[in-house]
Structure 1
Amino acid sequence: AYAALIIDAGDVAYAVRSSATAEDGSTASFAGQHRTLLNVRGLDPVLAAVLECWASLYSEEALEYRRVQGVVEDRLAMAVVVQTLVPAEASGVAFTVDPATGDRDVVIVEAVWGLGEGLVGGLVTPDHYAIRKTDGAFVRREMSAQSVRVVPAGDGGVRNEDVPPELATSAVLSEEQAQELARLAVRIEEQAGRPQDIEWAWAAGEFVILQSRPVTGVAAAVERDGWVSEFDTDTQPETIWTSANVQEVLPGQMSPFASSIQLEALEKYGMEPIERMGIKLSNQDPFFAFFYGRAFLNVTMMLDMIDQTPFASQEALMDQYLSLSRASASDFDFTKIPHRAIWKKLAGYIRVLPRMLWYRIRLPKDIERSEAIVEAFRREDDERPVSEQSDEELVQTFEDGIDRGGDVGITHVSGAGITGSAFEMLRNCTERWLDDEAGTLQATLVTGLAGLESALPAFELWELSRLVLASAVLKEAFETSDGAEIERRLEAANRDDTSAFRRALATFIKHHGHRSVMEAEAAAKSWEEDVPTVYVMIRNYLHADPAASPQRIGERQRKQREAVTEDSRKKLGFWQRPIFRYALGEAQRWIASREHTKSLLVRTTDRGRHYSREMASRLVERGKLADVFDLYQLTWTEAKALLLGDLSPEEAAATIERRKKEHTRNATVTLPEMFRGRPVPLRPEETALPEGRVLEGIPVSPGRVTAKARVIMDPRTDATIEPGEVLVAPVTDAGWTPLFVAASAVVVDVGGTLSHGSTVAREYGLPAVVNVKYGTRMIRTGQTITVDGTKGVVVIEDQRSS
C-alpha cells in the first residue's frame, strides 16, 4: 500500500505519526510520548519510520507514563498515520480551555515560526494569545523573540535554522489570523463535545488542522462540571458505569499509590476470566475505572457479557451481583444497549458453555495454587525479610508480588462469578417451587456454614474476651482505658494472665492480622498495625450475653438451616429434589469458598502493605519524605523512582502537596451511583435527604428487631457498640464484621445479597437490610429503630437521640 502511495505521489515529503488506542484520552495526553517523524521521503524511509513509531509504544518513557496514568497494557494498540507533510510557515497549538486555570471561556493559542517541532521540543518560547470565545477579544497577548525555527532538511528529516531578522521580532500571527484560528478551534470543540488540544499549521495562506485531541492535565475550574481529577479514566460517552458492588471492596477515595496498582490489577482480575471463557466484548473501555479517586464498574461491558453467557440474565446481574437500587437503574433504558441476534447468541453459548464448565471444574485446583502462592510468599519473607533487602531487591520483590498475586485475584473473581450463579440457581429453586418471593428461605439455607472465613475473627475475639473476664487486672484495664492505653498497660504488666492473653492475641494476629477496614488500600492500617482497634472490639464483647457467643449462634443457625432444608426437601417433587440438592450444595460451597479466596487475596495486598511501609520508612530516614504515609500520595512508579534516586525529593514533595489538595477537593464531590460517560458531580439539591421516617433497601437476612441505633462511620476511629444495639454503617467488609456479634441487627447504606457483610449477618442470624442509601445520614445514635430484614424496611420510631 505504501509502495503504491509513494509511486503514485512521486517525490513527496511525509509526516509519520502515531495514533494509539489509549492515546490522548480526556484524562491522559500522550503528546511527546510516541514518535513523530517529519519530512520522510521514499518507500524504505517511510517503512522504517512506521516501524520506529510502533516501537515507540514500548519506549521507557511511554511505559512509565502509561503506568502513572493507569493505562492497561493489554488493551493497547497503535496505528501509524502517514500524511503529506504540510510546509508550514508557522505552526503551533490551540487549547479551547485555559490549561493553567480551567477557564472554558477562552481559547489559548501558541505559535512559532516553522514546523511545530520547535514548540514540542521546547526549542523556542512561543507567542501566546488568550482570546475570548464570545466576541474574539484578546484577554492577553505575549510576544516572544524567536531566533530559531525548525524547517525540512534537504535530504530528509528536519533541521534548525536562524529566523530571518525581519520575522524574529514580529508576531507570528496577526490579530486577524489569531481570531480566525480561535473561531476554528471553537467549531472543533463543538463538534467533539469537549475541550480540545489542537495542532495547527499556517501554509499557503490558510490554516491546516493537523490533529485534535481532548485536553488533559487541566487545572480544576471553579465550576463542578469543569473538574477533572488527575487519575480519572478516559471513557466513551455511552459507557454506563456504577459504583454498586465495587464500592464495598474499594470504598471512598483510593490513594494514588493504591489506585496505580489496583487499576491494572482489577482489570486483569476482571478481563482474564472473561477472555478464558471465550466471551467477545464490543465495548472498548476498561472493566474498572476511577473518577475523583473512586472506583467504578463497567455496566455496559457486563451486560455484553451477560448477553453471551448461558443461564445468565440481566435481572440477576442487577439484583444479585450489582444490587442496584431501582432509583439508580430507572434512568437507564438497558434495552437500548445492542443485543446479539439469536443465532449469534446460540453460537456464543456453544463456544462459552464448555469453557464455563471446564472453568468450574478447574477452579478448586486454582484455589490450591492460590494457597500455594500465599504460602510461598510467607516462606520467602521468613527466609529473606524485607528489612534485609536492598532497595533494588525490595522493588523487584514488590513487583514480583504484584505479578504472582494477580493469579490469586483472578481466582477470587472467578469464584465470585460462580458464587453468584450458584446463588441465583438456588434462588430460582426456592422462588419457583417453595414460594420464596422475598428470598427469606434462600437466606436461611446458606447460614450456619462452619468455618466461614469472614466470620472466624469474631470467634477468636470472643475467646480473647473470655480471657479478659477471667482476669481482674485485664478486666479493669479494658473497662477503664482506651485502646492505646490498654496496649501500654499490657506491655508494663508481667503476669501469667496477661502473658496468656498476649499469646492468644498473637495467635489472633497471625490468623487475622491482615484484615482491616478498606483492605485493598495500602495506606490503611491492618489489624496487625492497629491493635488498639482490636482491643476496642474485644471490649464490646465483655458485657454481651454468653448466649450471644459466635459458637452458640453458629450452632443455632446450623440447626435451623438443617431443619429448613429437610422441610423444603419434603415439599419438593421427586424430580425437583436432586436439582434442589445440587443448587443448595453449590451455593453453600461457593459462598464459603469465596470468603476464603477473598482472605487469600487480602493477604497478598497486606504483603504489599508491609513492603510499602519499609520503603516509606527508608525514605523518611533519608530525608526524602516528611512522613511515612506521604508515600501513598505518589504512584508506584513515582515511589520507586524516589527510592532509587530517579525522582528528586523536591519534585516528590510538590507532587504530594498537590495531591493532598486534590484529595481534599475530591472529598467534597458526591457522585451518582450510576451514570454514562464521565460523571457529573451531584448538586446539593440532588443529595437532599428524603422526607419521612421509612428507609427501604434490600433484605439480606430475615428477622425483625426494634432497638437503639449505633451509627459507626469508621471502626478505626470509633468501634464501640453496646450489646443489643442496631449497627448502622456506611459500608461493611471483614474489618466491620467483629462488631456484628454485639449487634442485634445491621443496617448498611450500600451492599447486596452477596456482600461480605450480608453473608456474615446471615451467619450470625442478624436481621439485616442493606442498600438503604441514607441510613448513616438519617439515623442518629440512640434513636429507636425497627429493622425488618424480611421486607427490607427500616423505620425510625422516634426523632430523639442520646
Structure 2
Amino acid sequence: MTRYVLFFAEINRSSLPAVGGKGANLAELWHIPGIAVPEGFCVTTDAYADFVGTSLIFKDLIDLLDVVDMDPLTELKQAGERIRSHLEALAMPVPIEQAIVKAWRKTGPEHRYAIRSSATAEDLPDASFAGQQDTYLNVAGEKDILDSVRKCWASLFTDRAIAYRRRNGFDHGKVRLSVIVQRMVFPEVAGIMFTADPITGNRAVVSIDASFGLGEALVSGIVTADLYKVRDDKVIVKNTACKEVAIRAASGGGTEKAAITGDKRIEQCLTDENAIRLARMGRNIEEHFGGPQDIEWCLVNNDIFIVQSRPITTLYPVPPVADDRLHLFLSLGHPQMMTAAIKPLGISVLRTMVPFRKASPNGESGLLLEAGSRLYFDITPLLAYREVREKLPALLRNVDEAIGQAVAEFIGRDDFRLNAPPDKKLPVALAGTVIPTAFAILRNILYRDNDHVIDDLNRYIANRVNENRNRLQAVSGPARIAMIQEILSSLLPTIFPRLAPYIVPALVTYKLIGHLARKWLGDTAELCDISKAPPGNVTSEMGLALGDVADAAREHPAVIEYFQQANDATFLDGLRSVPGGEKVLPALVNFFARYGMRCTGEIDLTRPRWRESPTQLVPALLSHIAGMAPGQHRRDFAAGQQEADAAAERLLSRLSQTSGGMFRAKRMRRLIHVHRSLIGIREHPKYFVVQHLDLVKQALMLEAASLVAEGILEDPEEIYWLSLPEIARVLETGRLDRTILAERRDKYARDAKLTPPRAMTGEGEIIIAKPSADAPPGALTGSAVSAGVAEGRARVILRLEEAQMDKGDILVAPFTDPGWTPLFPLAAGIVTEVGGLMTHGAVVAREYGIPAVAGVDGATIKIKDGQQIRIDGTRGFVQLLDGGNENKKPR
C-alpha cells in the first residue's frame, strides 16, 4: 500500500528514499534521547511521484534540462520557469490531499507550520544540496498547507537546483522530493552550529552562529551573527556583532523583517551557559550520526530545539590514528608536485616504498597515511626528538616554505608543548650511518674528484633496473606480488644512502656560494647564473631530447598534421604511413626508449606513462615547433653553460681584488666546481624510482591480464582499485568482491574534488602559514625560488596534455614535476601553487635561468589566462598588470 504521509516517529535515516535526506535526518534526530525536535510529518516521495505522474508533459519538460545551455543562464531560467509554473498549476490528486490534511489535523491544526523541501539528493554525506529547494514558514490553514506543499514540489526545479544537479551529475528525472510539515517554534534566538570549525576544520572546536529571531536571518545573510567557539566545555572565542535586523513571524502568516534598536543591537544574544549546552548537544548528535554536523537550532524560553542536522561535506578527511595524541600530518603530494587524488594501488605502492614503521619488512608504512585519496606523513614521532624539532622547519622550508612555516607554528603552540611527550634521544645506532655519511659529504666538498660521479650513478641505476626487471620476469602470481613488495621496500634504503654524499654537497655548496659572496662582496649578483645548464641532469636532458623530436618533425607538415589527430593506440605505427614519418620515427622511438616511463604525476603508478599515452606530449611538441627555431633549445642550453662560466669568472675576479682575495677565490672556485659537477644529481632519485615504478606497473598489468582472462576482472585497469596485499589475495583465491571496486570509484570521484591541505593536525585543523615576501600591495606572494624578474603573458595550464604556449609566456601551473620540463624552454618565468627552493621546478628553473615563484596559493584561479603579469623570483611575488583573458588559447 502506498504511504503518502509518514510521521517522524515512523521513520529514521534509512527512510531516505521515502522522505529525502533532510526528512531522514530530522526523523533520526527525533529518536536521539535528550534532543528536542518540534513535531511533524513528511509527505513522501511516492506522493511527489504520483503527483507529477498525472502530468502528460512533465517527462518532456525535464528531458529538456539536460540539453539547455547553462552559459548564459537564460535558457536554463526559462526551462525551470516552465516546469515550476506547470507544477504549481497542476491539480493535486485527491488521495494525496486527503492524507496531508488528515496528518495535519492529527498534529494540530491550531499550530503554525514550517513547510520544507527534502530531496532524495540532499543532506547526503558527499553532497549537501543545502538551500537548493524552497521553504515556507509560519503557514496556517488547510489551503495554505496544501499550496505550500505544491510549491515545494515545484521548487525541485529552481534555477539553482537545476544548475547544482547538472554540476554534480545527478539525473533530474531520478531525484524525487519529499516535503516536511513541522510545527513552527518562534524563538528568541536561533542559529547554526558546526560541530567542527568550518574555517580551520578543527574537529575539537564547536562553532556557533547566533542571532535574534528566526534562523533565516543568518541563512539569507542579512544579519551578522554573534560567534561562539566552544572547546572542552569552555567558550574560547566570543565575538558579539551589531545586529540591526531580525526575521520574525508575521501575524498574517509568513515572515517579516523587524529592526533591532538601542543597546539590544550589541547585546550578547546567547549566554555562555547556553553556548556550552548547545555544544554538548552538537557532540551528542555528531556521535549519533558518526561525523561532523551542520545543525540548525532554536532557543525558546530557555529550551533548545533542533530543527535540522546535515553532514558537513566540505571538511577534508583526517588521517586515521589509533591514539588520542595531538598529531601533525604533512602532505606528501605538495613536495612531490603531485596534489591530485591517487587511486588505491598507487597509494599502496607508495606506502610500501616508505621504509619506516612497518609491521613487516615488505608491508605498508604506518607513517604514511591515506586521507582524501592523498598521502600524509605522520611526523608526530619525529617531534619527540629535540634535535629534529630544532632543524626540521628550516629543512622543510627548502622543500615547501609554507610547510616549513606550518611545522614551526605547530611546534611553538602551547597545546603542543604542554602535551608533548618527554624528549627522546636519537638512537645511538643512527650515528653509525650519519657519521660516515657526514665525513663523505665533507670530503666531496673539500677535495674529492666528483667529475665521474654522474656517469657512475647512471651505470648503477641501469644495472639495478635491469637486475630487478629480470627478477620480476622470473616469477608470476602471488610470488610476483611478493617480489614487487620486496623491490619497492628496497628502493629508498638503496638509493638515498648512495646519493646523499653527493646531493647534500650539491645543495650545501649553493648555499655557501651565496653566503660567502654576500659576506665578502655584499651581494649575490652572480648566484642566479651559476646554476644554469649544469651537466648530467636527467630531467633537463629529457627536455632537450624532446626538442630534438620537435626539430625532426618541424620540416614535415604531414607529420605535424598527424600529431594533431593521432591516437594513443596507433601513435607510432600510424606515423609510418605519413610522408616524412619514417624520418621522424627514430627520434620518437629513441625518446620513448629513454623516457617513455615518465609522465605528469609520475609518483602515482596508476597514471598513464608517455609510452602508454604518447598523445600527452603532442601539445608540448607543437608548442616547441611553433615557438622555437630549429636547434634553439640546444643553443639556449649551451648559452646557459657559457653564462654560468662567465658568472663564475666574474665572481672569482671580484673576489681576487678583495683582502685575502687569492685564498677566497680558490675557496670559491672549489665550491662552484663541486656545485656544478653534482647538482645534476638532484633529479636522479626520482629517475631511479620512476624507472622501477614502470617495471612494477608492467608486472602488475600482466597479472591483471591474467585476472581478466579468468573472468575475475572486466578490465585490466580495475586492478588500480586494489592494494598490493589485496591483489595477492585475489590471485591466491580467485575471488573478488566487486562492490569494493564501485565503492572505491565513488570515493575517489568525491575525493578528487577536494583541495588537500599542506599540513593538518589530528583534530582536523588545517594549518596555513603564509610564505613571507617583501611584496607591493595587491601582489600575490609565494617563495622566491629562482632569481630574476620577468614580465609577460600568463599561460594558466592545469594539465600538460592541454598545454599551449608561445616563447616568452609565463607558465602558471598547480605544480611542475619532471613531466612539465618540455615547457621550460618556452617559458619566460614560472609560477606554481606548490613547491619550494629545492623542489623540481625550482631547480630546473634555475638551470634554465628562468625567474620562478613557488607556493602561490590559488595562483591558477587568481591569475587569468592571457593576463599580463610580472613575477619577481628574487623577492617572491607576482603582480597582476591587467584583467586577463586577452588572446586566450584553449587549455
Q: What band does the TM-score fall into relative to the shorter chain? A: 0.5 to 0.7
Q: Determine whether 1:772 maps to 2:851.
A: no
SS at match of 2:354: helix
| Deviation sequence 1:173-222 (CA, Å, 0-9, x none) | xxxxxxxxxxxxxxxx99xx99xxxxxxxxxxxxxxxxxxxx9x978975
**Superposition pairs for residues 779-794 of structure 1, below 5 Å?**
779-794=863-878
The amino acid across from 1:502 in the alignment is: L
Q: What 5-or-longer segments of structure 1 have no aligned partner?
A: 1-97, 104-129, 138-188, 195-214, 272-284, 684-689
Q: Once the 2 structures are TM-superposed, how far is the Cα of residue 614 of structure 1 from its aligned partner?
A: 1.9
> Could you tell me how far 1:608 is from its partner in structure 2?
1.0
SS of the aligned residue for 2:567 comes to helix
Offset, 1:739: 1.2
Q: Partner amino acid for 2:799?
A: D
Percent identity of the aligned residues?
A: 19
| 1:332 aligned onto 2:420 | no
- Cα offset, 1:332, TM superposition: 3.4
1:415-435 alpha-carbon deviations (Å, 9 max, x no partner): 655654444444433443343
Give the match's secondary structure for 1:295.
strand
Is 1:258 matched up with 2:346?
A: yes
Q: Secondary structure at the match of 2:626?
A: coil
Q: Shift of the alpha carbon at 1:227?
A: 7.2
Who is 1:669 aligned against?
Answer: 754
Match of 1:561 in 2: 644
Could you tell me whether the CA contact under 8 Å between 1:670 and 1:682 is conserved in 2? no
2:252 match = none
Selected match of 1:465 from 529, 532, 550: 550
Q: 2:764 — aligned with what?
A: 679
- Give 2:376's aligned residue: 296
Corresponding residue of 1:32: none
Which of residues 635, 655, 664 in structure 1 aligns to 2:723? 635
Could you tell me how far 1:778 is from its partner in structure 2? 0.8
Deviates more, 1:323-332 or 1:497-506: 323-332
* Residue 760 in structure 1 maps to residue 840 in structure 2: no
Count of residue pairs the alignment pairs up: 579
Q: 1:430 to 1:615 in 2, by over 3 A?
A: farther
Aligned with residue 515 of structure 2, among 423, 428, 432 = 428
CA contact (8 A) 1:308 1:349 kept: no
Cα distance in 2 for partners of 1:371, 1:218 equals 55
Given the alignment of the two structures, is residue 726 of structure 1 paired with residue 816 of structure 2, yes or no?
A: no
C-alpha distance in structure 2 between counterparts of 1:706 and 1:451, whole Å? 30
SS, match of residue 448 in structure 1: coil
Matched, 1:402 2:480: no
Structure 1 residues 646-700: Cα deviation after superposition (integer angstroms, max 9, x where no partner): 5x23x1x1111111222223234334322332434699xxxxxx99852111222
Residue 659, structure 1, aligned to residue 744, structure 2? yes
Match of 2:100 in 1: none
Write the deviation string for residues 210-264 of structure 1: whole angstroms up to 9, x where unpaired: xxxxx9x978975349979697455764333333775425422222112122123
Any conservation in 2 of the 1:257–1:632 contact (CA below 8 Å)? yes
Q: Describe the superposition over 1:606-663 as per-residue Cα deviations: whole angstroms up to 9, x where unpaired.
A: 11111222222222333222333221111111122122325x23x1x11111112222
Q: Tell me if 1:446 matches 2:536.
A: no
Determine the structure 2 residue equivalent to 1:544. Answer: 627
> CA–CA distance in 1 between the matches of 2:381 and 2:504?
15
Q: What SS is found at the alignment partner of 2:370?
A: strand
CA distance in 2, matches of 1:373, 1:489: 28
User: Which TM-score applies when normalising by structure 2?
Assistant: 0.56
Give the deviation of 1:593 after TM superposition. Answer: 1.4
CA pair 305-411 structure 1, distance change in 2 beyond 3 A = farther
The Cα offsets for residues 379-416 of structure 1, whole Å up to 9 and x where unpaired, read as 564x6885x95424533442343244344454478465
Cα offset, 1:732, TM superposition: 0.8
Instruction: Sort the Cα spacing of 1:219 and 1:697 in 2 relative to 1 into closer, same or farther, 3 A.
Output: closer
Q: Tell me, yes or no, if the aligned pair for 1:709 and 1:779 is still in contact at 8 Å.
A: yes
Separation in 1, partners of 2:405, 2:789: 25
Cα 1:422/1:254, change in 2 over 3 Å: farther
- Give the 3-state SS of the residue equivalent to 1:787 in structure 2: strand
**Is contact 2:386-2:424 (8 Å) kept?**
no
CA deviations on 1:691-726 (whole Å, 9 max, x unpaired) are: 98521112222232222111111214x132233221
* CA separation of 1:227 and 1:635: change in aligned 2, threshold 3 A: farther
* TM-superposed deviation, 1:442: 3.4
Would the aligned equivalents of 1:229 and 1:662 in 2 still touch at CA under 8 Å?
no
CA distance in 2, matches of 1:230, 1:615: 33
Quote the Cα distance in structure 2 between the aligned partners of 1:360 and 1:691.
41
Question: What is the DSSP-based 3-state SS (H/G/I as helix, E as strand, rest coil) of the residue aligned with 1:332?
Answer: helix
Q: Tell me the CA shift for residue 509 of structure 1.
A: 0.7
**Distance in 2 separating the partners of 1:526 and 1:781:** 28
What's 2:675 paired with? 587
**Aligned 1:183-332 pairs, distance under 5 A:** 223-224=311-312, 232=320, 234=322, 237-243=325-331, 246-268=334-356, 287-298=367-378, 307=387, 313=391, 316-324=394-402, 328=406, 331-332=409-410
CA–CA distance in structure 2, aligned partners of residues 370 and 624 of structure 1: 41
2:487 and 2:848 map into 1 onto residues whose CA distance is 35
Q: Distance in 2 between matches of 1:599 and 1:269?
A: 25
Is the CA contact (8 Å cut-off) linking 2:795 and 2:811 kept in structure 1? Answer: yes
Q: Give, as a single letter, the amino acid of the residue that structure 1 aligns with 2:827.
A: A
Aligned CA-pair RMSD:
4.8
Change over 3 Å in CA distance of 1:322–1:655 after alignment to 2: same
Q: Which residue of 1 aligns with 2:438?
A: 357
- 1:354 maps to amino acid: I
Give how far 1:727 is off: 1.0
**Structure 2 letter corresponding to 1:334:** G
Change over 3 Å in CA distance of 1:426–1:296 after alignment to 2: farther
Corresponding residue SS for 1:542: helix
Which whole-Å CA distance do the structure 1 matches of 2:856 and 2:726 have between them? 40
Paired residue type of 1:593: I
- TM-score (norm. length: structure 1): 0.62
Contact 1:370–1:411 (Cα < 8 Å) also in 2: no
Report the residue type matching 1:771 in the other structure.
G
Amino acid at match of 1:401: I
CA contact (8 A) 1:540 1:721 kept: yes
Alpha-carbon deviation of 1:378? 2.6
| CA distance 1:780–1:419, shift in 2 (3 Å) | same
Displacement of 1:545 in angstroms is 3.1
Q: Distance in 1 between matches of 2:723 and 2:531?
A: 41
CA contact 2:398–2:836 (8 Å) conserved in 1: yes
Task: State how 1:27-38 maps to structure 2 within 5 Å.
Answer: none
1:334 & 1:639 partners in 2: Cα distance?
44
- 2-structure distance, mates of 1:512, 1:303: 39
Aligned to 2:690: 602
**Aligned pairs for 1:14-93 within 5 A:** none
8 Å contact from structure 1 (residues 748, 771) kept in 2:
yes
Change (3 A) 1:269 1:779: farther
Contact kept, 8 Å, 1:267 with 1:287, in 2: the verdict is no
Contact 1:549 1:741 in 2 (8 A): no
Q: CA deviation at 1:775?
A: 0.9
Rounded to whole Å, the distance in 1 between the matches of 2:383 and 2:518 is 24
**Is this contact kept in 2: 1:267–1:286, CA < 8 A?**
no
Residue 508 (structure 1) aligns with: 591
Unpaired stretches in structure 2, ≥5 consecutive residues: 1-12, 22-29, 38-203, 206-230, 233-286, 294-309, 360-364, 445-449, 769-774
- Higher Rg of the two aligned structures: 2
Residue number among 571, 577, 591 corresponding to 2:654 in the alignment: 571
**Contact 2:396–2:404 (CA<8 Å) still a contact in 1?**
no
